[in-house]
Structure 1
Amino acid sequence: MKNSISLITLLVFCISCSAQHTIVDVSNKIDWTTNTYLKDTNNHFEDVLGTWKWEEGNSSFEIEFTKITNYNYDGINMAIDFILGRYKYIEDGVVVADILNNNSYTPLDFRATLVFVNPTEYTFIIHDDVSDKTKKGPFILSTNGLDTIATFSLRNPEGTVTYPTNIEFSLPTQLTLIKQR
């Protein structure tokens, strides 16, 4: 009986060990494989989390970045920490796009995300709900002594032929944002 309990305990331990992911920091792009947890172990994401805003006259662009932790992708045995974004764009007093308060927003249905490149640079990928187009580009962090600022410049993703619609991209493609306190 004692041997049976020991064997069952050993089997449960082995199964739980094999189900765990190897933890790799998001900065280590070389080790992204299956059975990996791509984790923000060094808290790189802290500098970009929160609300960022640009305002000029009656126009504004606001984006809120949130950290999603230990998200497991079905079928590939990989988990990841990543940054999810929600935005609101007002042009000349008219709301162009607003997913800032969308509570049905899920990680697989993201409209904006930041991908870690290094502590001061991310790749910004944003989907425009109005035109149904996606653009991406660098999101560069800096400081002006008082504020933390970020600049981005978006372009069409590589490999994109043409979009099937004549609607122009309705979001700003180049801005300087200030992190809100």
Structure 2
Amino acid sequence: MKNIFYTLFIGLFFSFSNAQTIVDMAGKRQNEHYENGTYYIKDINNYMLPYLGTWKYVDGNKEFRITLTKVTKHHVVYTDYNINHYIDGLRIQYQKYENGQLIYNSIVRQNPTGIIKEFRKLNMSFTDYERNNEIFPVDLLLIPLNNMGTPQYKLKFKLDKFERRNTYYEQHPNEPYFSVPDNIEMIKMN
């Protein structure tokens, strides 16, 4: 009987010591939410759900696709900056096709990105792997197609080239700034 109480006490102690406080990703966050590993910044309202899947943009015989997948409770730790928290995020991968043939398939970043502060507005980072692995902010905005039945959306894909330096472009000024199309509207494939 003594062992049962001891086991229950130890179990309760560890469950309370590892408890996390859930913070709404769409809400206001404080500095302490990032610091001690006890906070989980969660997509409580499932605002990321409509983004999931593969989106495409077609321009003549060229096609650009992005695939967004959700990662839940990703542990973010940067001890040098006193950052230690859990967060939901999205991973992005892109492909380029010409005449129906795959010509480029990017890697999938291990660390998800993405901040949703309100429904249909997502900010995340995008790496232009074909240029110089430079990371650029991208805004992904859902545009409603209809109000009847299951919601359907187009996706506005807009890169912010003023946020970071693009050393590839500086060395090749006659080429496009990005290796992917920018400021486009995409349709969902699945």
* TM-score normalised according to structure 2 size: 0.75
Match of 1:125 in 2: 125
CA contact (8 A) 2:115 2:123 kept: yes
Residue in 2 that maps onto 1:144: 145
- The aligned runs of 1:77-92 (5 Å cut-off) are 77-90=84-97
> Are positions 1:9 and 2:8 aligned together?
yes
Q: Counterpart of 2:89 in 1: which secondary structure? A: strand
Once the 2 structures are TM-superposed, how far is the Cα of residue 97 of structure 1 from its aligned partner? 3.0
Residues 93/133 of structure 1: CA separation in 2 closer, same or farther (3 Å cut): farther
Residue 96 of structure 1 contacts residue 170 of structure 1 at CA under 8 Å; is this kept in 2? no
The worse-fitting range, judged by mean Cα deviation, of 81-90 and 66-75 is 66-75
Unaligned runs of 5+ in 1: none
Deviations 1:104-151, CA, capped at 9 Å, x for gaps: x4523x6xx432131011114210111122222321111223941011
Alignment CA distance shift 1:11-1:128 (3 Å): same
1:116 — aligned with what? 116
Residue in 1 that maps onto 2:24: 25
Query: What does residue 65 of structure 2 align with?
Result: 62
Deviation at 1:52, TM superposition (A): 0.8
SS in structure 2 opposite 1:27?
A: coil
Q: Gaps spanning 5+ residues in structure 2: where?
A: none
| Structure 1 residue 44, shift from structure 2 partner | 1.2
Specify the alignment match of 1:45 in structure 2: 48
User: Aligned in 2, Cα 1:85/1:92: closer, same or farther, shift over 3 Å?
Assistant: same
Q: Using structure 1 for the length normalisation, give the TM-score.
A: 0.79
Task: For 2:179 and 2:100, locate their aligned partners in 1 and report how far apart those are by CA, in whole Å.
Answer: 14
- Verify: 1:171 aligned to 2:170, yes or no: no
1: distance between equivalents of 2:134 and 2:144?
A: 31
Show the counterpart of 1:153.
158
Q: 1:25 and 1:122, CA in 2 relative to 1: closer, same or farther beyond 3 A?
A: same
Closer/same/farther in 2, CA of residues 73 and 86 from structure 1, 3 Å limit:
same
Q: Percent identity?
A: 26
In structure 2, relative to structure 1, the CA distance for the partners of 1:128 and 1:96 (3 Å cut) is farther
Distance 1:129 1:17 in 2: 43
Amino acid at match of 1:170: S
